[in-house]
Amino acid sequence: MWKDWLRPFVRPLPQWSPVAIAPPSRVVTATLHWDGQSADVTADHTVASLKPLTIATSLDAGQHPILEYRDNVTGKLLGVLRLARTASVTTEKTSLALYHVATGEHRCLVWPRRSWNAWLQNRSMLKHRSSNHLNMEPATAQQLMIAYLCPRPVVLVSVGAPGHQNMFPMDLIGPLERSGFFSLALRSTNVSEPTMREVRKLALSNIPSTMKATVYKLSEHHKQPLMDWNALPFPVRPSRKFGIPVVAAALRIQELTIVHSQVIGSHTFFLGRIISDENLAKGAQLHHTAGFHQAYRHRLDMPFTVV
């Protein structure tokens, strides 16, 4: 069809692709390089804030490290973020490093499609700026897409306290392996943020990819608390230690105690310790990756399953 041929020239790729990936498959490796040294940070770097775009890691990688994302099958360099050290977070006698993203570029599309697609995406972001909840500069959104080259799992976060209950989706989450912390970056305007800081406990439900539509619908609870656990459109059961309602069909349930929280720009950066971890079922979990990553995998005839 001539329309299929024409599409890349007139329509940008989607910024994000919701895809189904069965854990623990590792499709991309993230490596930090600094001062002649390098270290695998695939399970040791997370997004700490969107504005300014900030990466957290347990490693002290100097002042200006480079974060590289490589495809595990082909070894191809998919993207690079150049970082600049901003601060440290110290809690429980452990320090984490925070880095601002200075610049970034990806190699998922061949030139000139790479530049043309970025131009189309940036133009669309500027056009829809008022309705775009991220409201980021286009260059920063491009850098964030590079950070999603390591596909990010989507979880439903359960918060339960007297007088406040909630369940909402998050993907700016993940382990900081070397320190043993698990981090979450939550917009400070989220309705449950004060409760999370106060009660310091929550539960994460890792979601089967088949629940995508239901999970997206729950994003309204970033703004409004949940009135009644029974109002959820799926069965829940109590989490193992805290007894907070979690998704009965979850692939995995983790409970966290929050040991530290601080505001970094637009987001509150939470650090927790996992106090229970139940692997309940095998299967494809909902993840997000960058649209240009999925386009790269299509070109190699190994696309992720889109959900």
Ligand X SMILES: Cc1cc2nc3c(=O)[nH]c(=O)nc-3n(C[C@H](O)[C@H](O)[C@H](O)COP(=O)(O)O)c2cc1C
The enclosing H or E element of 116 equals helix 113-127
Write down the least CB distance from residue 38 to ligand X, Å: 28
**Binding of ligand X by 187 (CB under 6 A):** yes
287 is a contact residue toward ligand X (CB under 6 A): no
Contact with ligand X (CB under 6 A) among 41, 55, 83, 172:
172
CA distances 203 to 110, 159, 280, Å, are 42, 7, 14
Distances (CA, A) of 49 to 127, 171, 195, 275, 293: 24, 12, 19, 25, 22
**Cα(164)–Cα(278) distance, rounded to whole angstroms?**
25
Q: Which is nearer to ligand X, 39 or 307 (CB)?
A: 307
For residue 198, the SS3 value is helix
Question: Of the two residues 17 and 190, which places its CB atom closer to ligand X in the complex?
Answer: 190
Q: Which is nearer to ligand X, 7 or 223 (CB)?
A: 223
How far apart are CB 185 and ligand X at their closest, in Å? 6
Task: Work out whether 186 is an interface residue with ligand X (CB under 6 A).
Answer: yes
Nearer to ligand X, 187 or 297 (CB): 187
Q: How many residues bind ligand X (CB under 6 A)?
A: 14
Q: Does 170 bind ligand X (CB under 6 A)?
A: yes
Question: Collapsing DSSP states into helix, strand and coil, what is residue 128?
Answer: coil
* Residue 135 binding ligand X, by CB under 6 A: no
- x/- contact string, 149-168, with ligand X (CB under 6 A)? -----x--------------
In angstroms, the CA 198 to CA 57 distance is 25
Contacts of 307 (CB under 8 A, 6+ apart): 18, 19, 20, 209, 210, 212, 284, 286
222 sits near ligand X (criterion: CB under 6 A)? yes
Closest approach of Cβ 250 to ligand X, in Å?
Answer: 15
Instruction: Work out whether 133 is an interface residue with ligand X (CB under 6 A).
Output: yes
User: What are the strands, taking DSSP E only, across 117-154?
Assistant: 152-153
Q: Applying CB under 6 A, which part among 2-10, 22-30, 73-81, 215-223 lies near ligand X?
A: 215-223
Residue 246: φ, ψ to 5°? -130, 170
Residue 206: closest CA among 241, 165, 158: 158
Give the shortest CB-101-to-ligand X separation in angstroms: 17
Residues that bind ligand X (CB under 6 A): 133, 154, 169-172, 185-187, 190, 215-216, 219, 222
